[in-house]
Structure 1
Amino acid sequence: MLWFALCVATNSSAWLSTSVLVTNMRNFPLSRGTVAGILKGYGGLSAAVYTEIYTTTLHKSSSELLMFLALGVPLICFTMMYFIRPCTPASGEDSAQHGHFLFTQAASVVLGSYLLTTTILNDIFSLSAPISYTFLAAMVLLLMAPLAIPIKMTLNPTNRSKSGMLNQPVGSSESMLQGEENADKTEPLLTPSSSTASLGSFHKNDIYFAGVGSGVTVLNNLAQIGIAQGVHNTTMLLCLFSFCNFLGRLGGGAVSEHFLRSKTIPRTIWMTCTQVIMVITYLLFASALDGTLYAATALLGSAMVFNFLSWSRLSLSFLA
């Protein structure tokens, strides 16, 4: 039954992640890499968030954790499902939108740093219940920080009309259709049939399998690797991997998007660079040199997900 539950949960998670990614890439056609990095970055932080809830609210109870996963997570998904919808994309560069992305990225970095700090403190010190609940409340506030953007836009709406969309109601089918046409003119997308027939698409799948697959294998055995090298408390090791994993997710979208638009450097170049970094990381793991375990873990966490995000951005561009 546990195996069946894991299959259902993993499959549904993939469907939910794909729908969120594709919808937001259509909503922000000029900042697809940044959007993918933010969404995947928060996904990378979810494990640390659940750990905080598990240790503070659920008091490390396995039965309460299963109850939370069975009832709490579906309730959140059904509640948030209403907000995942296509909207009219901007017809050009918008400075306000760029500022909103910067705010969201900064909030996610602060949240990641906060989770790393609180995890270390909980591991080193025995914190009292009031302090733990204070940490949890602060985490929730940081997690909900991006809600300040729609609140600000509601209280202080901009009166600028987008070019070519005058006298059209917001969210109308005509404006959405015209917005999609503008997005297609800005960044043409390949059709699904051409992507399937492309030999390069299959090569990217091979690179993804070799790079991310090997990284996941190391992740699944990271605790055993740490114990084999004399690190008996692997909590710090896993925490470091999670934080660098988040940074790799966030940077994988923003950095590749920036250089793609400013220097026209394709994302496949970044995939190659991350593959080289991962090879060096595996050599560090195999050498078992003193002081290299934490550095190798940090490199693996960032490089593996940078590779994954670049590949997913290339693949989802055929669907967006």
Structure 2
Amino acid sequence: MNFFGYFMIWLAVTGRTAKPHVWQMCLYICIGANSQTFSNTGALITCVKNFPESRGIVIGLLKGFVGLSGAIITQLYRAFYGDDSKSLILFIGWLPAAVSCIFLRTVRLMKAVRQETELKIFYKILYVSLSLASFLMILIILQNRLHFPRAAYVGSASFVMILFFSQLAVIIEEEFNVWKSKRQELNNPIQLKIVSELPNPPPVEDTEIEPRPTRGDQEKHEKPPVSWWSNPFKPPERGEDYNILQAIFSIDMIILFTVTTFGVGGTLTAIDNLGQIGKSLGYPSKSITTFVSLISIWNYLGKVASGFASEIFLEKYKFPRPLMLSLVLLLSCTGHLLIAFGVPNSLYLSSVIIGFCFGAQWPLIFAIISELFGLKYYSTLYTLGGGASPLGAYILNVRITGYLYDKEAKKQMAVEGTR
């Protein structure tokens, strides 16, 4: 899907095919863009089920790398193709498809057995990712301020990939330690001392042995499998496995979907219009380019911070994730207010706050869904929760912000016409 969608766009843009109709281009974009939800859902759901005790951390890490992906792909594109903008479409087409094919077999469900070193490994991966994010942040600032030749882009992209794949060293080391400990257990079996007689054997009582139940008796006592549509208005207790309709019609999902629609939609609207906001407030073009480019870094930091912090606060202080989500939304309001009141030089801080809060909401929302409704239908419910983002962007960004922009533009054009 990814390769077909973007490859067809590239063929049309470069003139290798006849000029497509608008609906055809929309179809290509739809196919290419929606392919990402397949890989994201498959990887995230699998990891949450493999590490259910560390779901907040896992979601934070995976979503954090989604936030960094734009900055990483930008570095690779400049190293491969320079400033050829048409080749960017082809690059976005073949790279994710190739990565998916290569690593397809690594995404699989495993027996959920928590290792003693599980948290330690996650923290090591966090430290590597923080180093990568810090390097990317410095790189973006320098590239927006200085002129980088092609060789410099190749060198910086090579170092980015070294940092990125250094996480594999952490995993390989842990797998080697597990293999070594299992081998030691096989080579040094525990010596058991067998005692033939007990000094004071207990008296044997005559007990009536119950007959072993047959397979037919077991099937009578087994509960029939619950379908995804049965009893939609009779949900189980919170934390148990809801079916799809029980989750959709529950008051918890309605509240969470509403919060996601306007919380994520509000921060996404601010991010989408950040360049126009900076221009209208009189910021230099280089400054606007810098803080727009750094949104992916703040997005990453928000995701990993909320993922790790929510897991720690929940385990140590019983601090619930919904309350932390409320605090994140409250923090995002300060960024919106700084923009609304036009405080001098405040757009730098507000872009950091809004980017951070936009990222911090996702691990909390997805972890809350898994804790409220269980993991049986988590992939469907996870996708349902993510669907609130485009709905919020449409309501706030298109219908409200777009309408207000057009209204204000008509006023300004009328004033300039009278002059």
TM-score, normalised with respect to structure 1: 0.86
Equivalent residues of 1:248, 1:303 under 8 A apart: yes
Paired residues, number:
293
Q: Is the 8 A contact 1:252 1:306 kept in 2?
A: yes
2:144 alignment partner in structure 1:
123
Deviations 1:207-231 (A, max 9, x none): 0001001111111111111111222
Aligned partner (choices 92, 95, 99) of residue 120 of structure 2:
99
Select between 300-309 and 150-159 the one with higher mean Cα deviation. 150-159
Gaps of 5+ in 2: 1-23, 184-237, 379-419
Q: 2:340 aligns with which of 270, 276, 286?
A: 286
- 1:85 counterpart SS class: coil
Aligned residue among 159, 175, 192 for 2:181: 159
Root mean square deviation, CA, Å: 1.9
**Equivalent of residue 272 in structure 2, options 206, 220, 224:** 220
The yes-or-no answer on 1:302 pairing with 2:356 is yes
SS at match of 1:57: helix
Q: Tell me by how many angstroms 1:260 deviates.
A: 1.3
For 1:203 and 1:122, the matched residues in 2 are separated by 43
Give 1:250 shift: 0.6
Structure 2 residue 28 is matched with structure 1 residue 5: yes
CA displacement at 1:63 relative to structure 2:
2.1
Displacement over 6 Å in runs of 4+ = none
User: Are 1:30 and 2:53 counterparts?
Assistant: yes
Counterpart among 191, 207, 216 of residue 242 in structure 2: 191
Cα distance in 1, alignment partners of residues 240 and 120 from structure 2: 26
Deviations 1:272-301 (A, max 9, x none): 111111222111111111121010010001
Deviation at 1:158, TM superposition (A): 4.6
Which amino acid counterpart does residue 101 of structure 2 have in structure 1?
F
Verify the 8 A CA contact 1:260 1:266 in the aligned structure 2.
yes
1:16-95 alignment to 2 at 5 Å? 16-90=39-113, 92=114, 94-95=115-116
Say whether 1:270 aligns with 2:321.
no
Alignment partner of 1:288: what SS? Answer: coil
Partner of 2:212: none
Residue type of the alignment partner of 1:315? I
Q: What is the percentage of aligned positions where both structures have the same residue?
A: 24
Of structures 1 and 2, the larger Rg is shown by 2
Q: Which moved more, 1:209-218 or 1:147-156?
A: 147-156
Confirm or deny: 8 A CA contact 1:270 1:307 kept in the other structure.
Answer: no
Q: CA deviation at 1:108?
A: 0.7
For each residue in 1:63-95, what CA deviation from the matched residue of structure 2 results, as whole angstroms up to 9, or x when unmatched? Answer: 2112112222211111111110011222x4x33
Please name the residue that 1:178 is paired with: none
C-alpha contact (below 8 Å) 1:41/1:249 kept by paired residues: yes
* Structure 1 residues not aligned, in runs of 5+: 162-186
| 1:190 Cα deviation after fit | 3.2
Q: How high is the TM-score relative to the length of structure 2?
A: 0.66
Deviations 1:203-256 (CA, angstroms, capped at 9, x unpaired): 000000010011111111111111112222322111332211110011121111
CA distance in 2, matches of 1:147, 1:277: 35
**CA-CA distance at 1:127 after TM superposition:** 2.6
Deviation at 1:133, TM superposition (A): 1.6
Cα drift, residue 271 of structure 1: 1.2
